[in-house]
Amino acid sequence: MNVTISLDNFNRLPVSRALRATAGFKRKQPLRAVAMPGKIIIEAMPSSGGRLVRRKGRMVWTGELPDGVNSANAVNALRDEI
């Protein structure tokens, strides 16, 4: 999802319901904001649950992903940020 937004009169950054839903953000979910010149990235905090298990010789992580997030849209989002 790609939209144009503006800072409001109090310099706050409004993030619409549609943007939050697309990102999979839930109510009161802790988020991490990373600012750099010309860009702010707001993303879900790393999961604190889950563990590593060995399956067929590989390590597999059992933690839950944020709502609406999967491997396909995570890679697409990453490339959109570049």
Partner 1 sequence: MKSDFWDTSALLALQCASDDFHAAAEAVFDGDCFAARRSRAEFYCAATGRMGVPPAVALQLLESLDEFVQWISLTDAEETRVVKSAPRRGLQGRILFDALIAECAAKAGCKMVVTANPTHFRHVLPHTDIVDLTVQK
Residues that bind partner 1 (CB under 8 A): 23-24, 43-48, 50, 52-53, 55-66, 69-80, 82
Q: How many CB atoms lie within 10 A of CB 63?
A: 11
Could you tell me the smallest distance in angstroms from the CB atom of residue 5 to partner 1? 19
Could you tell me the smallest distance in angstroms from the CB atom of residue 16 to partner 1? 18
For 14-42, the DSSP string reads: ---HHHHHHHTPPTT--EEEEEETTEEEE
Using the minimum distance from each CB to partner 1, give the nearer residue, 38 or 49: 49
